[in-house]
Structures are given as C-alpha cells and as structure tokens.
C-alpha cells in the first residue's frame, strides 16, 4: 500500500478543486519525489498508486500520455530489477484493455520488463514479454531494423534455455526482413543465432560453415573471431564422418588462425585420418556444451558416435581388410556394434568397402567415398569393381600371350611358321 504522504498528494491532485493546468506539473513533481524519497519497501506501492491515478478517470488520454512517458523514463532509471518487474507487470495489466491508445508506452515498458527478467536470468518470461510488443501497428511507424532487432533478441533469449523450436520460429520471421536491414551488428547477431540453432539441432556441418564465415567478420574483435573459429572446429569434429566432413576439416585446417585454438590438435588428427585416443577425446569433451554431449537414439553420445565413425574411417586407411572382432577391439565396441557402424557408413556412402559376414571380415577398398546412399550395401559398386578387375586381368593375359608370340617369331621363325595357327 502506498505511503500516507503519496496517497494524500494523489487525492489532492484528483480532487475537482485542483485546476487542470496545475495537475500535470503536480504529477511530475510527485513522480520525482517518489523516485528520490521513497523507502525501498514503499517504492513499488508508491509507483503503482501513481500509475493507477494517471491512468484513472481523472485525466484524459491527451493529458495522461506525457505523464505515462515520464513514468516510463523514471521506471527505467530504477536500478532494482524486482521493482521494475512488480510495477511493470501491473502497468501492462492496466494498459491491456486500452493498449491501442498507449502502444508506444506499452512497448517501452515491455522492453524495461524484459531487461529486468533477463537480469534475473528468467529468459523465458523475458522472451514472452517481448512477444507482446505490437510490431504490425497502424498507430505508429516501426522500422524493419527495429522489428528484426526485437525478433533476434527473442531468438537469443530462447537459445539461453535451449528452446530451439521457439528460437527458430522468430529467426524465420527475421530472415524474411533481413535483406532490408542495414545494421551490420544485427546481421551478425542473426548469423550467430542461426549457427547456434543449427548446432543445437545437431546439423553440425551447416553450423560449422556459418561459424567459420562469422569468424571472418571485420566488425568483431579478434577474440570473438577466434571464439567463432573454435566453435566451427567443434561442430566439424562432431559431424558424421564422411566426405562432407573431410572437406569441412580441410577448410578449417588450412585456416592459418586454427593453430591458435585449443581444439587444433584434435582437428589435425582428424584431418590427417589418425586414430584418436580416449585421453584426447576426454580432453576435448570437457569443453563441450550439454547438447553436444546428449545421448543419441543408440545410447551413445554425439561425440562418442563421431569419434567411432572417425576411427573406423581411419582404420580403412590403414588396413585392406580386418576382422569384425578385431575392428570392435580397435573401436572399443563389441563385434556386432562394430559391424553395425561399418554397415551403416557403407550404406550411406561414407565408407568404401564390403562386409563378408560368413568369414567375419570387412574389406576396405581404395578410393574416396561419395557421400551418397548406395543400394544393397554397395552391391552395384562391388560388382562393377570386380568386372573391371576381370577385364584388367584378361587384358594383361592377352598382352603376355602376344609378347610370347612375338618373341617366338623373332627367335624361331621356322617353328612359328610350321606350328602357329592363323
């Protein structure tokens, strides 16, 4: 409840005996006194009482608008987040039935309230408050830059709590107007938000590309560019093994700045197709975000799956063939799981090879994977390769026969003339 002094002053201002021209100055003086003189426990009730008065029946819309604008500025200057939240929520409730008349003030109060929620790390409520701002209004002109800024802020708030569904919804809205935006900082925030959503949705190759492009921005400080490069390397490492990831790793490895980041050692080993040890993987995992350590459908983590596939691809560079059981030992899996990983990668075109289930062997073939799915476990590719080998052997045999015939003709022409069948 408001203090007796403030309640008395409000009653005086609302009384019919107070001249209309004097009310505006009286309310402004009272507002200044409330902000500067109220005790911590009385500040919220006093501001609430003041707000109820200026939006009551005593003043009309024309008189109340400038007073409400002053109130908004005073509320913004208050350092206490709890006061802003309490008073701001009450203000929105009062303004709701008549928001058409006070759209600009409603938007400013929502931004103040969003700042207060964010200060208290209540990101969901902060995003919801911002969603209530009328951006398609006929009462006031709102620039495309302002709209995109608000949407990007909502996206970033949702990403703070890993709500990629809510974030992507507003990112798509911003995408439709991004070509009209001239503010480079807004465009950068859009790119960063897009990368974070792709990262959270485990579209690591796409996220790596966006992070890498982001790292070249001249607007950012050098430290921020290196962080973006680091994020690009992390996403590339976590991506499924195959030709697409190989191209991504090559692009990052050739970046001269890559040696400055902590993840360079694992990037180098993956680029050079070297096997990764458990110690190296554990060191890398220590700096990953929670969603990058999430459990996948087969019970393994995103990182574990990426490492297994990488080591399997590395093994294919070292061996022409290997037993399924020995491969399982190399990958730290049982033989059935190792065979499952190999079969999936061969089927998806990320590994060139074939599996002999009768003898329990996996044959790795030379050449690069295409990254395209194959039919029947690469049966077509195997058949084509075997035919080419057969053709090559037949050609080699006929060439040897021809060579022998030529030698006989040169050394024993009489014998060839008597015995050679034409």
Per-residue pLDDT of the chain (422 residues; tens, 9 = 90+): 677 888 888 888 877 666 666 777 888 888 888 888 888 888 888 888 888 888 887 777 888 888 898 989 999 999 889 989 999 999 999 888 888 888 888 999 999 999 999 999 999 999 999 999 888 876 778 888 889 999 999 999 998 888 888 999 999 999 988 888 888 888 888 989 999 999 988 899 999 999 999 999 888 889 999 999 999 999 999 998 888 888 999 999 999 999 999 999 999 988 988 888 888 888 888 888 888 887 877 777 888 888 888 888 888 888 888 888 888 888 888 888 888 888 888 888 888 888 888 888 888 876 555 455 555 444 455 555 566 677 778 888 888 888 888 888 888 888 878 877 65
189 closest CA partner among 205, 208, 175, 203: 175
The pair of structure tokens assigned to 68 is 């409400």
In total, the chain counts a number of residues equal to: 422
For residues 140 and 149, give the distance between their C-alpha atoms in angstroms, rounded to a whole number. 17
Task: Return the bridge partners of 295, or none.
Answer: 301
For the chain, the distance separating the N- and C-terminal CA atoms, rounded to the nearest angstrom, is 121
The pair of structure tokens assigned to 231 is 């994020």
For residues 175 and 165, give the distance between their C-alpha atoms in angstroms, rounded to a whole number. 15
8 Å CB contact between 330 and 314: no
8 Å CB contact between 45 and 1: yes
State which H helix or E strand residue 361 sits in. Answer: strand 361-364
Neighbours of 192 (CB within 10 A): 22
Return the SS3 of 374: coil
* Full-model pTM: 0.71
For residues 372 and 348, give the distance between their C-alpha atoms in angstroms, rounded to a whole number. 6
- Show the DSSP H helices in 55-183 as ranges: 61-77, 81-95, 103-119, 123-131, 144-160, 164-177
State which H helix or E strand residue 6 sits in. Answer: helix 4-14
For residues 332 and 326, give the distance between their C-alpha atoms in angstroms, rounded to a whole number. 10
The pair of structure tokens assigned to 360 is 């329990």
Backbone φ, ψ for residue 354 (5° rounding): -150, 160
């Amino acid at each position: 409840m408001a203090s007796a002094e403030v309640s008395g002053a409000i009653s005086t201002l609302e009384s019919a005996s107070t001249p209309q021209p004097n009310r505006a100055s009286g309310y402004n003086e009272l507002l200044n006194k409330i902000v500067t003189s109220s005790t911590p426990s009385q500040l919220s009730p006093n501001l609430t009482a003041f707000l109820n008065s200026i939006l009551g029946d005593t003043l009309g819309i024309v008189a109340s608008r400038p007073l409400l604008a002053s109130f908004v500025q005073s509320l913004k200057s208050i350092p206490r987040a709890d006061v802003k939240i309490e008073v701001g929520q009450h203000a929105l409730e009062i303004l709701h039935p008549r928001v058409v008349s006070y759209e600009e003030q409603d938007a400013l109060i929502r931004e103040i309230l969003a700042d207060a929620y964010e200060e208290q790390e209540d990101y969901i409520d902060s995003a919801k408050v911002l969603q209530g701002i009328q951006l398609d209004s006929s009462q006031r002109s709102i620039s495309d830059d302002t709209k995109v800024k608000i949407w990007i802020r909502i996206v970033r708030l949702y990403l703070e709590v890993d709500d990629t569904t809510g974030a992507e919804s507003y990112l798509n809205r911003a995408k439709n107007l991004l070509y009209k935006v001239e503010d480079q900082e807004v465009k950068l925030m859009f790119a960063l938000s897009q990368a974070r959503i792709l990262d959270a949705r485990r579209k690591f190759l796409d996220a790596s590309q966006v992070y890498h492009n982001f790292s070249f921005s001249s607007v950012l400080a050098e430290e921020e560019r290196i962080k973006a490069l680091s994020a690009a390397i992390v996403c590339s490492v976590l991506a499924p093994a195959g030709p697409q990831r190989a191209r991504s790793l090559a692009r990052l490895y050739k970046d001269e700045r890559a040696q400055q980041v902590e993840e360079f050692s694992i990037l180098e080993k993956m680029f050079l197709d070297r096997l990764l040890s458990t110690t190296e993987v554990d060191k890398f995992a220590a700096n990953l975000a929670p969603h990058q350590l999430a459990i996948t459908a087969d019970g393994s983590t995103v990182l574990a799956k990426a490492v297994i596939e990488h080591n399997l691809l590395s093994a294919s560079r070292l061996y022409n063939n290997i037993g399924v059981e020995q491969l399982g030992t190399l990958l730290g899996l049982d033989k059935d799981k190792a065979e499952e990983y190999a079969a999936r990668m061969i089927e998806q075109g990320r590994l060139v090879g074939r599996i002999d289930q009768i003898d329990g062997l996996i044959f790795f073939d030379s050449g690069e994977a295409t990254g395209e799915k194959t039919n029947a476990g690469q049966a077509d590719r195997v058949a084509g390769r075997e035919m080419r080998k057969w053709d090559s052997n037949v050609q080699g045999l006929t060439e040897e026969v021809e060579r022998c015939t030529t030698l006989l003709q040169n050394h024993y022409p009489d014998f060839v003339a008597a015995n050679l069948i034409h």
